[in-house]
Amino acid sequence: MKTRNWGAILAAVLTFAAPVLTAKTVAITVGGTTTTGDPYYGYNTYPVLKFQPSSITVDVGDTVTFSSLGGAAHNVHADDGSFRCANGCDGAGGDGTPSEATWTSSVTFSKSGVFHFHCDQHEAMGMTGTITVNAPNVPIALGGYMSGNWYNANQAGHGFQLELSSSNDMIAIWFVYTPDGAGQSWVYAQGPFDPASNTVTLPAQILTGAKFPPNFNPADVHQMGGGLWGHVTFTFSDCNNGSVSWHSDLPGYNADNDTPLSITRLTQIGGTTCPGP
């Protein structure tokens, strides 16, 4: 039987490099005072009833730090109730009740959207603001065009079959071998994926116990080790290149897994088109 040279299938193998995403912190001042007048007629000090700036744009993972300059009792309260902060934030060991003291509180945004906020004491006086949180700028989003067979050219002989459905569910089968080399071992993983992300982590299992047809009995199928094998994480830089990392709860399957395994595409499902390069 002639051995196929899988390495010749790909014209080039590109090295996968994950993008470096750096979270930032943006400051908003709360309240304060302003002084008007002159030496002849005298000076008057008034509270500032505004957030400065009142409208900002950040990215998912960024932190907004609110710092009260006093002048009156202030707090910062999201219109949707997701946060209320002053001397710390409610639900995080703090107290979001309006306070005249100078205080600093921070909120980290883990999802995209538009978040309107206000001061409970001075909303009617226009003390409001808006934070727009942008979704992560990923190299390529997960979708059905990622479906197909993937492998590492330097480790031809094992690889992955991936299927990503229109209902945002992913199936991954890793055709691999047992740690002791005694035979084949198929790792089966399935779960939902985020179509706005380029990475997904799936619970995985190895099924065993049943016999070859016609002696197959579904009741004989069980999970190796009595539970999940562990989980696998796929991350893609474009439509043809990515990496996989894993953690297993079974002995022997985690050896030398400090570095993600680079993978490249072997096949693509007919009728699908890659949006990336």
Q: How many CB atoms lie within 10 A of CB 106?
A: 16
Q: Which of 152, 140, 139 is nearest to 13 (CA)?
A: 152
* pTM exceeds 0.75, yes or no: no
pLDDT of res. 276 = 52
Tens digit of each residue's pLDDT (9 = 90 or more) over 106-153: 999 988 899 999 999 999 999 999 999 997 777 889 999 999 999 999
**What does each C-alpha distance from 196 to 109, 151, 168, 190, 199 come to in angstroms?**
16, 24, 10, 18, 9
Instruction: Return the exposure string of 243-252: e unless at least 16 CB atoms fall within 10 Å of the residue's CB, then b.
Output: bbbbebeeee
The fold of the 25-134 domain, in CATH, is Immunoglobulin-like (2.60.40)
Tens digit of each residue's pLDDT (9 = 90 or more) over 39-87: 878 788 899 999 999 999 999 889 999 999 999 999 999 999 999 999 9
pLDDT of res. 153 = 92
Instruction: Return the exposure string of 62-72: e unless at least 16 CB atoms fall within 10 Å of the residue's CB, then b.
Output: bebebebebbb
The domain ranges of the chain are: 25-134, 140-265
Backbone angles phi, psi at 226, to 5 degrees: 80, 5
Q: What is the DSSP string of 160-190?
A: EEEEE-TTSEEEEEEEEE-TTSSSEEEEEEE
Q: Whole-number mean pLDDT of the chain?
A: 88
Tens digit of each residue's pLDDT (9 = 90 or more) over 157-201: 999 999 999 999 999 999 999 999 999 999 999 999 999 899 999
State both tokens at 180: 């002791």
How many Å is the Cα radius of gyration of the chain? 28
Tens digit of each residue's pLDDT (9 = 90 or more) over 12-30: 222 233 334 468 999 999 9
